[in-house]
Amino acid sequence: MKTYKHCQSCGIPLKRDPQNGGTNEDGTKSLKYCSSCYVDGVFTNPEVDTAKKMQSFVKEKLKEMGFKSIIARILTLGIPFLERWKKK
């Protein structure tokens, strides 16, 4: 199975996820998604259903954490290329 360094939904480095990854439906750790995006095999924010919406969501979270707008924008540029969004 492929190993990922970043959540394939939001782009957070998986090593920074306090839960060490989300969980699959069977309770096993997800090797692809973080615990903020994926719990029990379901995406946690169903309204965030496109890469563009995820970029906006993550930008706002980064700004809340104190990142400047330009840095938040740069950090979210790769989101459309993550596996979850490639198919859409």
Rounded Cα–Cα distance for residues 88 and 80 (Å): 9
pLDDT at 53: 98
Above 80 in pLDDT, residue 4? yes
Report the percentage of the chain scoring pLDDT > 70: 99
Burial class (CB in 10 A: 0-12, 13-18, 19+), 67: middle
Mean pLDDT along residues 65-79: 97
Looking at residues 69-75, what average pLDDT do you find? 97
Is residue 17 within 8 A of residue 5, CB to CB? The reply is: no
DSSP-derived letter for residue 12 is -
For residue range 22-42, what is the model confidence (pLDDT) as tens digits?
999 999 999 999 999 999 999
Q: At residue 87, does pLDDT exceed 90? A: no
